[in-house]
Amino acid sequence: MIKIYRIISILIYPLLFLYLKLRVKKNKEHPIRFMEKLGKINLEKKDNIIWFHVASLGEIKSIHELIKYYQSSKNINILITSVTLSSSEFFNNHLKSKNTFHQFAPLDSPIIIKKFLDHWKPKVSIFVDSELWPNMIIMASESSKMILLNCRISKNSFRKWKMFKNSLFKILNKFHAISAQSNETKKFLEFFGIKKINFLGNLKYASNIKKELNLFDIERNKFNWAAMSVHFDEIDIILNLHQKISNIESHITTFLVPRHLDKLKDIKTKIESRNILYIETSKNKKINKFNGIILVNEFGIADEIFNKIKIVFMGGSFINHGGQNPIEPVKYGCKVFYGPNIFNFTEIYQQFDERSLSKLVRNEDELYEELKDLATGKNLINSTEDFDKFGKDILNSNIDFLNQFINLKK
C-alpha cells in the first residue's frame, strides 16, 4: 500500500498547484502563502530546529503551553507547520517569537517533502494528534528523531486502518516514541503491534487559552444555563426543560446553541409554537435579564457564553450521536451535564466525572432535577482551579517525555 501511495503522490504532483489555486478561490487557502504547501520557503535556514506538525486550530492550541515552555530555551529554534488558515492566525496571535516560526505544512508529495526537509533539517520531528502522512513520516525519519505526540485514533479510523494493518505498522514504527491521549488509543496502537507507547493524558487539557471577546453585554438573570451543540432531535427536550424550570423560577435565561445552523428556521417554528419568548444573538448584543430563550444563530461565540454562565448541557448525548467535547466549558469553570450517548468522548467524561467537573443525566427527567436544584439555590462547586491543576499535571508529564529527546539550555 505504501509503495502504491508513493507512486500516486508522485504522479499527481503536477496537478497540486491547480488544486490549491481552486482552494484559494474558495477562500480556503492563503492567497500568497499557499505556495508554502508546494515547498516554497520564504524563511531563512536556522540551526537546531525542533519541528512540531499539527493539522488545525485544535491541535495548535493543545501544544500552546508546550511551545511557550520551549521558547525559553537558548539553543533551539521551533518550527510549527499546520494546514489551516485558523491555525496560522492563532500562531500569529499567540506564539510568534524570535525563535519560533510558522509555515503551512507541505503537501505529502515526495518532491515537496524533500524540498522542505533539505531546507529545515529538523533534529526532532514531533507529529501531533492524528497527523499520519506516510511520505512525510518516512522521509523525515531518515534524518530526524521522530515523536508522535498526543496520538488519537478514533473508532472510525481504527476500523479503516485495520484493513491496512501492516502498512500502518511500518508508518508508526518510524517513531522513536509515541504518547497516546487516551487508553482507547493506546489499545488501538497495541493492536497494530506498536510497543513503545506512553499514556500521558490528553494535552488539550493543558491549554489555558481563553477568549475575552466581550461581544455581548449580558446582565445575569437569577438562573442562566446553556444547552450547547444541541441536535435537532434534542430541541424539544430543551424547550420542555425551559418551560418546566420557568414554572418554578420565572427569571430564567436559556442559551440554546444548535449544532447545525441550517435548522434554524425549523427550530424557531418549534419555539414559536410553544409561545416561548426568544431573541437571536445576531440581532441582540445587549441582553438585560432576559426571561426566555437566547437562540445562538452564529458561529464563534461559544467561549463568550461559557465565560458568562456556569451550567452547561452538552448536546448530541441524548441521541445516538456520541456526544460533544466538554473541554471548553469545563475550562471556563462550567458544570457540565451530559446524556448517556457519549461514546466519542468516553474517557474525557470519565476523567471529568472523577473530579466532579461533569455529571451524567440519563434522561430529560434527571436533567430537570439537576437544573431545578440549581435554579432553587443549590450551590455550584466547579471552579477553573480544578481544571487548571489537572491540565498542569498533564503538561509537566509531556514536558518530561519530550525532554528525553530535546537538549535544552535555559
Interatomic CA distance for residues 243 and 205, integer angstroms:
35
Confidence of residue 360 (pLDDT cuts 50, 70, 90): very high
pLDDT tens track for 145-187: 999 999 998 888 898 889 999 999 999 999 999 999 988 899 9
Q: What is the mean pLDDT of the chain?
A: 91
Average pLDDT of the segment spanning 61-73 = 93
Q: In this structure, are strands 358-360 and 335-338 parallel, antiparallel, or unpaired?
A: parallel
3-state DSSP call for residue 163? Answer: helix
The yes-or-no verdict on residue 410 having pLDDT over 60 is: no
Cβ atoms of 27 and 84 closer than 8 Å: no
- Selection from 242, 236, 264 nearest residue 255 by Cα: 242
Residue 383 binned pLDDT confidence (cut-offs 50, 70, 90): low
Residue 253 has pLDDT above 80, yes or no: yes
pTM: 0.79
Domain with CATH 3.40.50.2000 in the chain: 217-379
C-alpha closest to that of 342 among 192, 216, 184: 184
Q: Which residue has the higher pLDDT, 64 or 207?
A: 64
**pLDDT tens, residue by residue, 370-381:** 999 999 877 665
Are 126 and 52 in contact, with CB atoms under 8 Å apart? yes
* CATH 3.40.50.11720 domain span(s) along the chain: 2-209+394-402
Confirm or reject CATH 3.30.70.1560 for domain 217-379, answering yes or no.
Answer: no
Per-residue burial over 276-308, b if 16 or more Cβ lie within 10 Å, else e, is eebeebeeeeebeebebbbbbbeeebbbbbbbb
The 3-state DSSP class for residue 222 equals: coil
- Of the options 3.40.50.11720, 1.10.150.130, 3.90.470.20, 3.40.50.150, the CATH number for the domain spanning 2-209+394-402: 3.40.50.11720
Q: Which range among 61-75, 317-331, 350-364, 369-383 shows the weakest confidence by mean pLDDT? A: 369-383
Query: Rg of the Cα trace of the chain?
Result: 23
> CA-to-CA distance for 147 and 175, rounded, in angstroms?
5
